[in-house]
A = this chain, B = another copy of it.
Amino acid sequence: MSTNLSRSDAIYASLRRAILEQALKPGTKLPEDSIGDTFGVSRTSARNALLRLASDGLVEIKPNRGAAVAMPTLEEAEEVFALRRCLEREVIERLCKRMPRDGIDALISHVREEERALQASSPRSIRLAGEFHILLAELTGSKLLIDFISQVVSRSSLILARFGRPHSAECGIDEHVQLIEALKEQDPETASRIMDHHLHAVEDRAKTDDKDDGPDIAEILNRYMSASE
């Protein structure tokens, strides 16, 4: 474990990543004991991490029944995307008013990384696609907006994992490129239109009905645990 991260922080990061990269599928049980064993810690730390993931909406905890990766319904999917559109519109409006000095560069750099991950067929590409949107929110400088965007983006990923084609990224990179171009021009109308179009495309991609079962939890967590060291 890294010196600065508490045990529960490390577990949180690993589980989060595994869920967002679709290695842990919706519905996958996450027993405290198994997680604790896998990370070589007690249930206490595992439980803390699960509580945090639950508040992010990535995990569902039912009393006396344990934790599992959240299983969004189609109804919830509608809600998430509707609210996401509202929030991302707000992000775009704010960024057209005020884009930080290195904002455009950071976005371009991020898209580069998305491209590299996609070419390498790395599972990271799925997570990075979502993180582009979180980066947009970060550029607004509003902590609470970042938190809310992060939640809707995470939930979108779950929806994709549940209802979309296996291992498909939720965003097209070219759509991100177009958005950056519009943000450069600081035209709220165009940028908002592109974001709206992009989010509808994301939503459509997320709603192809296709499901399969996931492999053994410890196996997956081992991979993600190593990655966080």
Contact = CB atoms under 8 A, between A and B. Distances in A.
Contacts of A51: 48, 51-52, 55
A65 interface: no
Contact of A82 (B79, B142, B148): B142
A1 interface: no
A16 interface: no
A90 interface: yes
B83 A148 contact: yes
A40 interface: no
A144 B76 CA distance: 9
Number of copies: 2
Interface size bracket, A side? 20 to 34
Interface of A: 6, 48, 51-52, 55, 57, 63, 76, 79-80, 82-83, 86-87, 90, 142-145, 148, 151-152, 155
Judged by DSSP, the binding face of A is helix
Contacts of A152: 144
A55 B50 CA distance: 13
A94 to B, nearest CB: 9
Closest 9 CB pairs of A and B: A55-B55, A79-B142, A86-B90, A51-B51, A83-B144, A79-B144, A83-B145, A148-B148, A80-B144
Nearest to A155: B144
Contacts of A155: 144
Nearest to A4: B63
20 contacts: A48-B51, A51-B52, A52-B55, A55-B55, A57-B144, A76-B143, A79-B142, A82-B142, A83-B90, A83-B142, A83-B144, A83-B145, A83-B148, A86-B86, A86-B87, A86-B90, A144-B151, A144-B152, A144-B155, A148-B148
Given A79-B144, A83-B142, 16 more contacts: A48-B51, A51-B51, A51-B52, A52-B55, A55-B55, A57-B144, A79-B143, A79-B145, A83-B145, A83-B148, A86-B86, A86-B87, A86-B90, A144-B151, A144-B155, A148-B148
